[in-house]
Structure 1
Amino acid sequence: MTVLTTDRLILRDWTDDPADLARIYDIYSRPEITRWLAVSPDLPMTDPAQAVERLRFWRDRHADDGGRYGTWAIEVRETGLVAGTVLLKPLPGTPETELTEDIETGWHLHPDSWGHGYATEAARALLAREFATGTSEIYALVSPGNDPSMAVARRLGMTHVGERSDWYGGELLETFVRRSTDA
């Protein structure tokens, strides 16, 4: 199901189509991607079957969100290539099983899709849609040292507000925020 479209991109649900599952595995088996993600015992993936579990996890996590939140594929309109993932979701607190009222956006792109502006374009569309619902601020959390993701956050008009550890079970993360009044 298509969630949003931009000039160059289609943001859509990940599916259990073999091509989508292969791309999920290809993205989330790469240490150059997973080293920046919040600590997860199943990353990097080591078996293609883990893509099925990851897709199930995403679906279960967002089953009751009515499409407002999600973890979506970023498909390039011109080629059909899935560049990566974009997400919008309530942030997990400490402990991680408890969701906060704070909302996060994020992006995980395959290296073959870096440097094309896809993360910025996809996240910008999600931010605009979410701000239209009345949300007052959205966060991007970036692992220290992940300069490319920090640059995306800045291109989105987000302001660096320092390191915080009150989400994801206390992991220290660089925090960026964009307020609806910044638009």
Structure 2
Amino acid sequence: MDVWLRSDRLLVRDWAVTDAPAAFAVYGSEDVAQWLTPEMQQVPDDTAMRSVLEAWVEAQPNLQPPTGRWAVVRREDDEIVGGVALRLLPPYDEDIEISWQLRPDAWGQGYAKESATMLMRWAFTQDIDELFAVARPDNTRAVATARRLGMEWVGETDKYYGQRLQVFRIRPGDLD
């Protein structure tokens, strides 16, 4: 399992199937699931989470960089606190979304900003010129995190996932 992004507090590493219980604390949480895109709905149990992770682990080596999904691990106790991803937005041909999901007991500690910043810095070494984040208008936490990341609000659209979403963008020169 590769650990390839590191800060003082966090590691961003590949998911492993054995991460299913920790991943379920994120993707099985109703508080998290209410904000997920239609492609990723609330995971109902550990067995389903294991299947999801099997698919992610199998797909990862075949994805075109910088796309992929990774675990966010707190270094002090080696606990998985969430996940980050870079994925093509629908219609899956151009725009790359950065997303972050944290288990609820990890909210408000700066982990989303810290892990997403590491991921953005790496992504911009992969010959891309912009990343997007999308959020439902009432997802105030995601909107606030996008702004803390230095992302610029570019408007609302229903282009992605058939839902009305706030769209934020960041380019390499926007990183602090």
Alignment of 1:165-176 (within 5 A): 165-168=158-161, 170-176=162-168
Letter in 2 for 1:110: R
Alignment pair present for 1:33 and 2:32: yes
Alignment pair present for 1:121 and 2:122: no
In the alignment, the residues of structure 2 paired with residue 57 and residue 174 of structure 1 have an alpha-carbon distance, to the nearest angstrom, of 29
Q: CA deviation at 1:66?
A: 5.7
Q: CA deviation at 1:155?
A: 0.8
Q: Secondary structure at the match of 1:50?
A: helix
TM-score by length of 2: 0.91
Specify the alignment match of 2:146 in structure 1: 153
Q: Secondary structure at the match of 2:36?
A: coil
Letter in 2 for 1:116: Q
In the alignment, the residues of structure 2 paired with residue 118 and residue 82 of structure 1 have an alpha-carbon distance, to the nearest angstrom, of 11
Specify the alignment match of 2:22 in structure 1: 23
Q: CA deviation at 1:137?
A: 0.7
Structure 2, unpaired ranges of 5+:
none
Q: CA deviation at 1:172?
A: 1.8
Alignment pair present for 1:180 and 2:167: no
Quote the sequence identity (%).
35
Alignment pair present for 1:108 and 2:101: yes
Specify the alignment match of 2:88 in structure 1: 90
Specify the alignment match of 1:52 in structure 2: 50
Q: Secondary structure at the match of 1:171?
A: coil
Q: How many residues align?
A: 174
Q: CA RMSD in A?
A: 1.7
In the alignment, the residues of structure 2 paired with residue 61 and residue 166 of structure 1 have an alpha-carbon distance, to the nearest angstrom, of 25
In the alignment, the residues of structure 1 paired with residue 64 and residue 159 of structure 2 have an alpha-carbon distance, to the nearest angstrom, of 26
Structure 1, unpaired ranges of 5+:
94-98
Q: CA deviation at 1:144?
A: 1.9
The 3 A distance-change label for structure 1 pair 67 and 133 is closer
